[in-house]
Structure formats: structure tokens, C-alpha cells
Amino acid sequence: MIDSDFKEEFEIWGRSFQVDVSLACHSNQEVLDSQVRIFNIIKNKLNELYDVCRTKIYEYMHNEERKELFPNNEIPENIFKFIIPKAIIVTRHTDVDYFGFLFYFRYDRENDICVSFKNYEFFEVGPEYIIL
């Protein structure tokens, strides 16, 4: 039986991070074979997927409403010192490969960031609850 929640170390954006991995299921359920398959594909495409995350988060941060979160309403040049990889969530959808990457966001801890993917293509960026 495969654990549904574990940590794994990844090289992301040139730095090493311990990332939580959740193959979403309730305590009375087993991890689906499709979730394991999706996670293995994610690992093989990790750099490409995190590059998409970086681009989408950068675009997301340049919304006027989010700029208000930063001191003097200015997004720091080194924004990715304040947005840190947190977790990978693989959902139990069986009709689509749906997963998300979660990021700690120092300037709004109540609304950490999620970048979600459907069938390995960017789907949505927003607060982490979009995948939870």
C-alpha cells in the first residue's frame, strides 16, 4: 500500500526544497493507481511544470489588488524569495489528470498560492483553496 501523504526533496528553481506530496484520499481509501501514475509523470516533467508555475505566479502577482499586499504597493524583484514551494496535490479525479502545486506566500499567509493543471496543461492560478 502506498502512503497518501509524504515528503520528497526536489530541486526547484535552482534550490533544494522538501515538498509535501498528497495523493488525495480519505483515511478509509487507498491511493489510486492513476494518482501514482500522475505523480510519476509530474516528477519527470517537474522542471517544465515549475517553470510554468513561476510564469503564472509572476503574472498573478501583477494584478493591482495583489500589489496592495506588498510594502509601498511594489512587487519585490526577488519575489520568489517570498513565494516558496510547499506541496504537490494529486486529486482523485478519474476522468482527467488534475493536480496542483502549492506555494507559501509570505505576504498573505491566509491565502497561499496554488497553480493547477489539467492533463499537464496550465489550468488556473489562485489561492490554495482552488485545489483543496
Q: How many angstroms separate the CA atoms of 127 and 14, rounded?
A: 25
Place of cell 489550468: 123
Question: pLDDT tens-digit profile of 22-33?
Answer: 999 888 888 999
Q: How many angstroms separate the CA atoms of 95 and 87, rounded?
A: 23
Give the dihedral of Cα atoms 17, 23, 28, 29; nearest 10 deg.
-160
Return the closest-CA partner of residue 39 out of 1, 84, 83, 91.
91
Side-chain half-sphere CA neighbours of 13 within 13 A: 14
| pTM of this structure | 0.92
Higher pLDDT, 30 or 118: 118
